[in-house]
Copies of this chain bind each other. A is one copy, B any other.
Amino acid sequence: MARFHSVIPAGGIGSRLWPLSRANAPKFLHDLTGSGHTLLQDTWDRLRPLAGEGRIMVVTGEAHSEAVLEQLPQLRESQLVLEPSPKDSTAAIALAAAVLMIREPDVIIGSFAADHVITSNTAFAAAVREAVAVAATNRIVTIGIEPTEPSVGFGYIKIGSELEVDHAPSARGVDRFVEKPKIEIAKQYVASGEYLWNAGMFIAPAALLLEILAESEPDLHSQILALAKAIVDGSGDVAMPKIWPTLKKIAIDYSVAEPAAEAGRVAVVPASFGWHDVGDFAAIAELQSAGHKGGLSVLGEANVVSDSSSGILVSETNRLIALIGLEDVIVVDTQDALLITTKAHAQQVKNMVDKLKSTGHGDVL
C-alpha cells in the first residue's frame, strides 16, 4: 500500500439531477444521501484511510476550484489539477497518473469518481487493498460490483479465470467489458453469475496505464506527458492553455480498459459493498438515509407539509411546499427553477435539460 496514491476525477454535471446539479454546481458538490457531507467529501473520507490525506489528488474543472477547496480545505495545491475545459476521463486520469509517476515512478494509482455512493467504507477499503496487491503484479485492476438487480444503467464486466496473487484471494481475470445492456441481456448476465457491474474504478501502476495509452492513443499520451512535465516543473500555467484545448476527448474505458482487457492485462476484484452512481432522482430516493416523512424522502432544509404523498423532494429554498396525494413524485425546488416529475420519468430529466438547452434556457442549466 506504500506505492498507492488515490486520484479523484471530479467532473460531469449530472444532467439527470437538474436543477439541483448544474454546470456551476455539479453533482459531486452536493449532499445527495442526507449524510451531511457532499459526494466529494464522502469520497475523500473513504480514501483518506487508505493512503493518507497527502496522497489523494483531485482533478476538476477550473470553475469548481473554489468550491472544491471550500469543501476540502485540507487539500494542498500540489494535490489539485485544474482542467480548463472538460476533456473526458482519459485526459483527467492520465494527467494525474503522469504527474504522480514523474514525482514517484513506481506509484500505483487508484481512480475513484467523486460522485458515486458507497455504503461500506470497510468493504471498499478491503477491495482496494486486494486491487493494489494485484496492480503490483503489473496489471490494470478494476473493482467489479456484484449486481443486485439486472440494471440497464451500468456497464458490466465479464469475469475471467482465477488469478493467483498473494493478498488478493478474490482477484479474477477480466474477459471483457460490456456496455450498458438491454434488460433481457442484463437478466442473463445477472443470472449467469459471471458478470459484475463496472463501477469505473481503476487501480494500476501509473506507468502501465500510460504505457497502454501510448499504444492506443499515442498523440494523447505524448501531449499528456508534456503537460505533466510542465506541471511538475512549475510551468503548468503556460503549458495548460496551449496543450489542453487540443486534447482528444475519450473515455478511459476505450483508451485503456478495453485495450488492456483484450491484451489480457486486466484483473477484477469482485466486491459486494453497496455502490451506486446516483444517476437520477429515483436513485437518490432509494439511497436517502435521512429525512423520511412517510413515503416521502426529503433532501435539504425543506419546509414540507405532505398529505400521504410519496417520492422525493429536494429543496434549496425556504418556501413552504405542500404535497397532496402524489405517488412517486420527484420535486426539486431551487431559486430559479422547479422540476416536477415522477420516479418513472427520472431518466427523462436529461432530455428535458437538452430541450432547455435548445430553447434558450441555458441560464438555468
User: Which residues of A pack against B, CB within 8 Å?
Assistant: 19, 305, 307, 319-326, 329, 331, 333, 335-342, 344-345, 348-349, 351-352, 355-356, 359, 361, 364
Set B337, B341, B342: member contacting A320, Cβ < 8 A: B337
Closest to A303 in B: B361
**In the assembled complex, which residues on chain B have CB atoms less than 8 Å from the CB atom of A337?**
319-322
Q: A305-B352, A359-B305 given as contacts; is B325 within 8 A of A339 (CB)?
A: no
**In the assembled complex, which residues on chain B have CB atoms less than 8 Å from the CB atom of A307?**
345, 348, 351-352, 355
Closest to A365 in B: B320
Could you show 11 A-B contacts with beta carbons less than 8 Å apart? A19-B322, A319-B335, A321-B337, A322-B341, A322-B356, A324-B341, A324-B342, A324-B348, A324-B349, A325-B342, A326-B341
Set B305, B325, B340, B344: member contacting A361, Cβ < 8 A: B305
Q: How far is the CA of A335 from the CA of B349 in the complex (A)?
A: 24
Q: How far is the CA of A345 from the CA of B349 in the complex (A)?
A: 26
Q: Are B326 and A364 neighbours in the complex by a CB distance under 8 Å? A: no
**In the assembled complex, which residues on chain B have CB atoms less than 8 Å from the CB atom of A342?**
324-326
Closest to A359 in B: B305
Q: How far is the CA of A271 from the CA of B142 in the complex (A)?
A: 78
Known: A305-B356, A325-B344. 5 other contacts (CB 8 A): A305-B359, A307-B348, A320-B336, A321-B337, A325-B345
**In the assembled complex, which residues on chain B have CB atoms less than 8 Å from the CB atom of A329?**
340
Q: Are B325 and A348 neighbours in the complex by a CB distance under 8 Å? A: yes
Q: How far is the CA of A157 from the CA of B126 in the complex (A)?
A: 79
**In the assembled complex, which residues on chain B have CB atoms less than 8 Å from the CB atom of A359?**
305
Closest to A331 in B: B340
**In the assembled complex, which residues on chain B have CB atoms less than 8 Å from the CB atom of A355?**
305, 307
Closest to A349 in B: B324
Q: Are A341 and B319 neighbours in the complex by a CB distance under 8 Å? A: no
Residue of A307, A319, A324, A331 contacting most chain B CB atoms (<10 Å)? A324
A359 to chain B, nearest CB (A): 7
**In the assembled complex, which residues on chain B have CB atoms less than 8 Å from the CB atom of A351?**
307
Closest to A345 in B: B325
Q: Are A336 and B319 neighbours in the complex by a CB distance under 8 Å? A: yes
Q: How far is the CA of A209 from the CA of B69 in the complex (A)?
A: 76
**In the assembled complex, which residues on chain B have CB atoms less than 8 Å from the CB atom of A324?**
339-342, 345, 348-349, 352
